[in-house]
Amino acid sequence: MTDKINELLRRVEEFKPKAAAEIEEFRIKILGKKGELNALMEDFKTVAPELKRELGQQLNRLKNEATTRINALREEWQNAAAENAASEDDLTRPGTAEHLGSRHPISLVKNQIVEVFSRLGYTVADGPEIEDDWHVFSALNFPPEHPARDMQDTFFIEKDPDILLRTHTSSIQVRTMERQKPPIRVICPGRVFRNEAISYRAHCIFHQIEGLYIDEGVSFADMKQSLLYFAKEIFGEQTRIRMRPSYFPFTEPSAEVDVSCNLCGGKGCPVCKGTGWLEIMGCGMVDPNVLKANDIDPEKYSGFAFGMGIERVAMLKYGVKDLRLYFENDVRFLHQFDEAL
Ligand code: DAH
């Protein structure tokens, strides 16, 4: 009889229903009036009196275990059914909103800048990221010993002939002059590469946007007015600009453009380091040597060019203090620009 009890105990323990109805079936089979437990109870009546105590305890244990297990299984199945009903079948439940992706802040700012210049008649031009020495340096009037050509700045892919990752989007100026004769009016966004240690203010990959305007009679005043228009459109109507003399191999004269600090209105604050001005881009009149290198007659044509870092403009526009945030693609950062669309 002990064997039979143990066998039943094992079946109770191992019972795994595949449907809720199986639990009830199992209960009737084991605990029901004509079930296996009652059959054992009948046998129990006839066992020798000295075995009754021991077997009685075993039977009680079997009854308790079977009842507990069946109740537990019932509850488990009821909960699962309730959950299913709630998650799949209840069509009146409110839906969960899918989060839509948003534009990256660098794309947002790039598109805004392109849009502003397209209103002035500029079209977008493109060029390769893997370039040669001619398009990045030589055609732009860089002397052979210029430090920008150095291994420390430029990622070289091959030496002799030099194949390299472009260090600035000015190379697209050269590509454009090869394709097109004046009048030229292009805006050229793109990725650039420099061998720099990564920090909050520098990265080895970043974005620039370049502008080039060549026609008869283009003057420095034209450049100043165009850049003032750009600054007002991007940073607000009250924005002013100033130009400081500078040097670039490909422009003469060259200037550095500052915009009035849009945080303090020019009074001086930590962002503009108390000066009231923020450096935003380089510009200048295209050097006659550059025009000549690209078969454009400098006696007939003149032009201006400018170049700026898109990360820098985005930092100033959105108050982002660490450049690395643009490259990490942390959604907590990116979602902050949802509204800016
Ligand atoms: N290429 C320069 C740089 O990477 C930026 C620049 C300065 C572009 C002056 C220009 C320019 O077209 O006229 O720092």
Q: Which tokens is 227 given?
A: 């850049």
Identify whether 189 is preceded by a cis peptide bond (ω within 30 of 0).
Answer: no
pTM beyond 0.75, yes or no: no
Determine the distance separating the centroid of ligand 1 and the alpha carbon of 308, expressed in angstroms: 7
Q: Which tokens is 341 given?
A: 């669309």
Check residue 295 and give left, alpha or beta (phi > 0: left; psi -120 to 50: alpha): left
Check residue 93 and give left, alpha or beta (phi > 0: left; psi -120 to 50: alpha): beta
Ligand 1: which residues within 6 Å by Cβ? 168, 170, 210, 248, 251, 282-284, 305-307
Q: What was the pLDDT predicted at 284?
A: 98
Work out the angle at residue 27's Cα, subtended by the Cα atoms of residues 24 and 28, and round it to the nearest 5 degrees: 90
Q: Which of 252, 256, 306, 310 to mutate to test the pocket of ligand 1 (most atoms within 8 A of CB)?
A: 306
Per-residue pLDDT of the chain (341 residues; tens, 9 = 90+): 888 888 888 988 888 888 888 888 888 888 888 888 888 888 888 888 888 888 888 888 888 988 888 888 888 888 887 777 666 667 888 888 887 788 999 999 999 999 999 999 999 999 999 999 999 999 999 998 888 787 678 999 998 889 999 999 999 999 999 999 999 999 999 999 999 999 988 899 999 999 999 999 999 999 999 999 999 999 999 999 999 999 999 999 999 999 999 888 888 888 888 999 999 999 999 999 999 999 999 999 999 999 999 999 999 888 888 889 999 989 899 988 876 55
Nearest CA residue ID for atom 4, ligand 1: 168
Q: Which of 154, 210, 222, 256 to mutate to test the pocket of ligand 1 (most atoms within 8 A of CB)?
A: 210
CB-based contact 311:202 (threshold 8 Å): no
